[in-house]
Structure formats: C-alpha cells, structure tokens
C-alpha cells in the first residue's frame, strides 16, 4: 500500500463512483478497479459494496478511509514542513 493507493481509495470513498474517480485521478477504470482489488487482497477485507449503480463503503472501508485521511494529511504536513 502506498500514497497513490490511498489517494485513489480516498477519492473513490468520497465520490462513490468508479468512473468519476478514474477520470479525476487520471487512471483507467481497469487500473482503478485493479488497485482497489489489490488493497482488498492486502487487507483481506472488502472495502466497498458494489452493484450496477452504487458503491458504498464497508466497515473495513470506513476504517481505511479514516486511516487514509490521516496518512495523507500527515504527508501534506511533512511536505509543508520540509518546504
């Protein structure tokens, strides 16, 4: 898991839409889907409940969203501190 994975996940967790996230993050839909599946495999938990029209976070997804938010915030603070 890296910062790029967390950024993709966090955007999807907010947008609830694979297509919008792929477009906004400048990745293909298949790349985004693969990255999310890889995160789910790493964590051993589904992060989203998916159907043809909606994407919702699971409990594990909610936990990862909080972790991702904190990690991305700390990274931005570090970048700012280092100038």
52's enclosing H/E stretch is: none
Element (H, E) at 49: strand 48-50
pLDDT in tens, 29-53: 999 999 999 999 999 999 999 988 7
Domain carrying residue 59: 3-82
pTM higher than 0.75 for the full model?
A: yes
pLDDT tens, residue by residue, 55-81: 999 999 999 999 999 999 999 999 999
48-53 contact pairs (CB < 8 A, 24+): 48/12
Query: Which residues does 22 contact at the CB level (< 8 Å), separation at least 6?
Result: 28, 29, 31, 32
Give the domain CATH number at 27: 1.10.10.10
Domain count within the chain? 1
Reduce the secondary structure of 7-37 to three states and give it as a string.
HHHHHHHHHCCHHHHHHHCCCCHHHHHHHHH
């Amino acid at each position: 898991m890296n910062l790029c994975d967390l950024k993709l996940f966090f955007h999807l967790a907010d947008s609830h839409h694979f297509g919008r996230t792929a477009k906004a993050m400048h990745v293909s839909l298949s790349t985004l889907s693969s990255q999310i599946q890889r995160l789910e495999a790493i964590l051993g938990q589904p992060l989203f409940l998916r159907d043809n029209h909606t994407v919702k976070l699971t409990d594990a997804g909610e936990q990862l969203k909080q972790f991702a938010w904190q990690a991305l915030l700390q990274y931005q603070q570090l970048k700012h501190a280092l100038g």
